[in-house]
Amino acid sequence: MKVILKEDIRDLGTMGDTVNVADGYGRNFLLPKKLAIPATKVNIRMVEHEKRLINKRKEKIVNQVTDIKNNLEKAEINIPVKVGENDKIFGSITSMDIEDKLKEIGFNIDRKSIMLDNPIKDLGIQTVKIKLHSEIIAEIKVNVIPE
């Protein structure tokens, strides 16, 4: 029996795939649980149309995120901190501090998307990665300067 998957099913396929399954598996499990639909000509055309629409939306989102990435990488982020002897900073710079600075210059980036392995504890320019989309990661320069 040929069916079109409506969801990702482990060991069978991903959403939108047309797969051959045993008749009983299709009739008794996949179809009643609405995990698949029969692979008729109408259903195949409908799924192809939905795939095209999804790809167009995804392409539009990727283009918007790429523009944000380019603007973000051009921006200068200076974070002033209090320093003690030997230019040792008090405390550290966390993703919350970076998020606040980004909001000040007009970027609404969630701190959870800032990929900071460890808090910044040194003066100077540090490279920080920001995950904007599943496929797009921006690298920004954060300049930690004495106050």
The model's pLDDT over 66-101, given as tens digits with 9 standing for 90+, comes to: 999 999 988 888 999 988 888 788 888 999 999 999
Query: Which CATH number, 3.40.50.300, 3.40.5.10, 3.90.940.20, 2.60.120.200, labels domain 2-65?
Result: 3.40.5.10
pTM over 0.85: no
Nearest of 88, 50, 85, 77 to residue 139 by alpha carbon: 77
Residue 112 near residue 99, CB atoms below 8 Å? no
Q: How sure is the predictor about 134, in pLDDT bands with cuts at 50, 70 and 90?
A: confident
Continuous segment of H or E residues that includes residue 16: none
Query: Which CATH number, 3.10.430.100, 3.90.120.10, 3.40.50.720, 3.40.190.10, labels domain 66-146?
Result: 3.10.430.100
- Structural domain boundaries in the chain: 2-65, 66-146
How many whole angstroms separate alpha carbon 136 and alpha carbon 71? 13
Q: 2-65 and 66-146 share one CATH topology?
A: no
Question: Which parts of 75-132 fold into alpha helices (H)?
Answer: 95-104
Residues 118/119/125/129 CA torsion (nearest 10 deg): 60
Tens digit of each residue's pLDDT (9 = 90 or more) over 15-36: 888 999 999 999 999 999 999 9
Sheet of 18-20: strand order equals 18-20, 2-5, 36-38
Mean pLDDT in residue range 124-147: 90
How many whole angstroms separate alpha carbon 56 and alpha carbon 63? 11
113: Cβ contacts below 8 Å, ≥ 6 apart = 130, 131, 132
3-state secondary structure of 127: strand
Pick left, alpha or beta for residue 27 (phi over 0 → left; psi -120 to 50 → alpha; otherwise beta).
alpha
Q: How sure is the predictor about 63, in pLDDT bands with cuts at 50, 70 and 90?
A: very high
The C-alpha angle with vertex 50 and arms to 48 and 53, in degrees rounded to 5, equals 115
